[in-house]
Chain A
Amino acid sequence: MTGSGAGPVACLLMLVGAGLHFAPDTVNARIRATVSDALRPGQSAARQVSILARENLSQLATKAEAARQRELNQLQEQLQEEQERTAALQLQLARLSELQNREDALPERMRSLPPLVSTSLVSADVLGDSIAEKWKKGKLLNRGEASGIRESELVVKSRHSLVDVGRDGKLSAEDALLLGRCVIGKIERVGRWTSTFLLLTDSGYRGRAQLVHQTDTGFVFVGKGILEGQGSPLCRLKGISSSEAVTVGDTVYTSARDGQPSTPLYYGRVVEATLDPAESEWMVLVEPVPVPSDLTSVQVLRTSVNAGRLTEGQ
Chain B
Amino acid sequence: MLKVFGILAMTYLGLVAQSSLVPGGSTNLGGPFFPALLLVMIAACCGGASSVLWSGLVGLLLDGMSNDKMGVQLILAVVLALMLQWTRSMWGSQSLVALVAMVMVVCLSWRALSPMTLAVLSGRVVDPQVILTDAIQDATWSGTIAAALILVGRGLMRPGIRGNSMNLSRSVPRMRTAVR
Are B71 and A17 neighbours in the complex by a CB distance under 8 Å? yes
* With A135-B126, A293-B27 already in contact, 8 other A-B pairs whose C-beta atoms are closer than 8 Å: A20-B60, A35-B61, A35-B65, A39-B19, A42-B20, A131-B62, A132-B68, A133-B66
Point out the residues of chain A lying under 8 angstroms from B51, CB to CB. Answer: 3, 6
Are A127 and B20 neighbours in the complex by a CB distance under 8 Å? yes
Number of interface residues of A (CB under 8 A): 54
Are A3 and B56 neighbours in the complex by a CB distance under 8 Å? no
Are A43 and B20 neighbours in the complex by a CB distance under 8 Å? yes
Segment 27-77 of B: residues with Cβ below 8 Å from A: 27, 47-49, 51-53, 56, 59-72, 74-75
Give which listed residue, B13, B52, B74, contacts A6 with CB less than 8 A. Answer: B52
Are A43 and B27 neighbours in the complex by a CB distance under 8 Å? no
Point out the residues of chain B lying under 8 angstroms from A113, CB to CB. Answer: none
Point out the residues of chain A lying under 8 angstroms from B24, CB to CB. Answer: 128-129, 137, 139, 293
Are B17 and A46 neighbours in the complex by a CB distance under 8 Å? yes
**A residues apposed to B, CB below 8 Å:** 1-6, 8-10, 13-14, 16-23, 28, 31-32, 34-36, 39, 42-43, 45-47, 50, 127-140, 188-189, 196, 198, 202-204, 293
- Provide the bound-state CA to CA distance between A136 and B25, in Å: 9
Q: A177 to chain B: closest CB distance in Å? A: 29
Which residue from chain A places its CB closest to the CB of B12 in the assembled complex?
A42
Are A17 and B64 neighbours in the complex by a CB distance under 8 Å? no
- Provide the bound-state CA to CA distance between A312 and B2, in Å: 64
19 chain-A/chain-B pairs, Cβ below 8 angstroms:
A3-B51, A4-B48, A6-B49, A16-B56, A17-B71, A22-B71, A31-B70, A35-B65, A39-B12, A43-B20, A46-B21, A50-B20, A129-B24, A130-B65, A131-B18, A133-B66, A136-B68, A202-B67, A203-B124
Are B19 and A130 neighbours in the complex by a CB distance under 8 Å? yes
- Provide the bound-state CA to CA distance between A2 and B17, in Å: 30
Point out the residues of chain A lying under 8 angstroms from B114, CB to CB. Answer: 133
- Provide the bound-state CA to CA distance between A231 and B163, in Å: 56
B23 in the interface (beta carbon within 8 A): yes
Point out the residues of chain B lying under 8 angstroms from A20, CB to CB. Answer: 60, 63, 70-71, 74
Are B82 and A10 neighbours in the complex by a CB distance under 8 Å? yes
In the A-B complex, the 9 residue pairs with the closest CB atoms = A3-B48, A35-B64, A5-B49, A21-B71, A42-B16, A128-B20, A46-B20, A17-B74, A17-B71
